[in-house]
Amino acid sequence: MNANFYIGIPYCLPTTPNHCGFCLFPTQDYGGNGAMLKYLDYLEKEAQMMACHLRHDRFSSVYVGGGTPNLLHAEDYIRLMNITRRIFGEPSEGVERTLEGIPQLFNHDKVQAIKEAGFNRVSMGVQQMSDRLIRYSGRRQTHEQVISALEEFNAARLSVNVDLIYGWPEQTLHDMLRDLREVCDLGVRHITLYQLNIAGRSDFSRQQRDLLPSFENTYEMYEAACSYLGSRGFRQATLYDWERIESEAGRFSHENAERYQYEQQLREFLQKDTEGVMAVTCNMVGIGYAAISGCMTWPNEGGPNWIQMNKRSMQGYFECIDAGILPVEKYFEYTPEDLRLVYIFQQLQTMKIDRTTYEQAFGTEVVQDYAPIWDELDARQWIEKSESTIRMVGLGRFLIPMIQSLFSHARLQEMRMGRDAIQAEGKRFIQISKG
């Protein structure tokens, strides 16, 4: 079985505001290289524990995320690739190996070390090209550092993805288009353009709301971005991901520069192999702090369908490994209904639902299964239906995250009721046991 392999690096440079003002992922403040080296020691121990469970598996992509993986020193990247080899053996030719990072921590020596260790792709979280706007996140990156990093990647023949965010505090339509124009001019072939997520207890959610663009202005940014990137030869793969197949001016024109295996395999977990046989295509193996693992199969095959998350307490992570226990914090088994929702969520990210594949996988028709929702979306002209496909159109594309929540609402309510019933029964048992 092929697997997407994820290695989590938890540490980030401390910022004011915390977590760059908007990030909701579990992370730890970086306190120096000593803590990082200790963590790498434990990663190697966890990899050794995992290896015995995955001896017959191969990985189809590896992704080192976080956190901020390019906090590592140059000599440590080979350790990461050796962890991969310890579990899966030597990678086959063409396997995508991606490392995340931020602009100010890349330099010539580090990029060369990343390349020599075996990585062939970098995902760089730029967010804003403007020195003025990035300051809202507390980051100290500069426009010059972004340009320098991209020049180094191109010289090293590394593929690159650039993350940008729109809907940022005090960002205008002009600001966003200027960033896109510059990134395109630099030859980048994969741009991930996110709408700013305002949620939870982030600083942007609690302190910066008055500085955010209005809903109307944010939607205008999205439409303008779609138009501009399309005019520059980009194909929209998902709500966020834009891929340019043809290189521009010879930049990032090396072999496989346009391949994005990790993301594609995660969003297309129900597929058929070359002989038309239904196949398991999403086996996710994650190690490290807060890493996620999971497996999804075609429902009628009756195989394992589950997801789990590692410890989000660093101390808890260390203690489990010291005890010889896999550091799992949460485990969840998917029901058939959960699998339907996972499929719909992943398909919505691509702005269309494959009705034929859904029916082959689940034995029912997706329009009939969720008729009230589709009827409402149809009435608002947010979808277009054909016999084989449902496509999100117009404002419906922009509102896909909200539409996803419509599909999951009933299942979440059911799960909450079940959890509340279990908690109530637990309290009752305690009362009875106390006499």
Residue 30 lies in a domain: yes
Query: CB neighbours of 39 closer than 8 A, spacing ≥ 6?
Result: 9, 10, 11, 288, 289, 314
Please identify, among 264, 297, 313, the residue that sits at the C-terminal boundary of a domain. Answer: 264
Beta strands in 114-233 (DSSP E): 121-127, 159-166, 190-195
* Contacts made by residues 180-185, CB under 8 angstroms, sequence distance 24+: 180/225, 180/228, 180/229, 181/228, 182/129, 183/126, 183/129, 184/229, 184/232, 184/234, 184/244, 184/248
DSSP line for 326-358: --EEEEEEPPHHHHHHHHHHHHHHTTEEEHHHH
Reference 389, options 416, 368, 358, 362; nearest CA is 358
Q: End of a domain among 224, 242, 264?
A: 264
**Structure pTM?**
0.91
Cβ–Cβ under 8 Å, residues 162 and 149: no
Q: Are residues 357 and 259 in the same domain?
A: no
At residue 307, what is the residue type? I
* Position 149 in a domain: yes
d(CA 94, CA 109): 24
Each residue's pLDDT, cut to its tens digit, for the chain (435 residues) gives 567 899 999 999 999 999 999 999 999 999 999 999 999 999 999 999 988 877 656 778 899 999 999 999 999 999 999 998 888 888 777 889 999 999 999 999 999 999 999 999 999 999 999 999 999 999 999 999 999 999 999 999 999 999 999 999 999 999 999 999 999 999 999 999 999 998 888 999 999 999 999 999 999 999 999 999 999 999 999 999 999 987 665 566 655 555 666 666 666 666 655 555 555 555 789 999 999 999 887 776 667 789 999 999 999 999 999 999 999 999 999 998 999 999 999 999 999 999 999 998 899 999 999 999 999 999 999 999 999 999 999 999 999 999 999 999 989 999 988 776 556 555 544 455 454
Asked if the structure places residue 137 within a domain, the reply is yes
Number of domains the chain contains: 2
Whether residue 259 is found in the same domain as residue 358: no
Rounded CA-CA distance 10/12 in Å is 7
Contact 320, 327 (CB under 8 A): yes
Q: Is 376 part of any domain?
A: yes
Do 194 and 59 share a structural domain? yes
Q: Look at residues 391, 406, 399, 407 and name the one whose alpha carbon lies nearest to residue 352.
A: 391
284 close to 294: Cβ distance less than 8 angstroms: yes
Question: Residues 250, 122: one domain?
Answer: yes
In terms of domains, do 258 and 150 share one?
A: yes
Q: Is residue 131 part of a domain?
A: yes
Q: How many residues comprise the chain? A: 435
Is 428 inside a domain boundary? Answer: no
Give the whole-angstrom CA distance, residue 134 versus residue 231: 27
**254: domain CATH number?**
3.20.20.70
**Full domain range(s) for residue 388:** 351-407
Output the six-digit token pair for 290. 């807060």
- 282 vs 304: CA distance, rounded Å: 11
Q: Is residue 163 part of a domain?
A: yes
Q: Strands (DSSP E) along 25-82, which ranges?
A: 28-29, 58-66
Helix, strand, or coil (residue 378): helix
**Integer Cα distance of 241 and 193 in angstroms:** 6
Could you tell me which of 4, 10, 2, 20 has the C-alpha nearest to residue 317? 10
Q: Are residues 255 and 362 in the same domain?
A: no
* Cis peptide bond upstream of 67, omega within 30: yes
Gap between the Cα atoms of 331 and 340, Å rounded: 19
Evaluate whether residue 214 is within a structural domain: yes
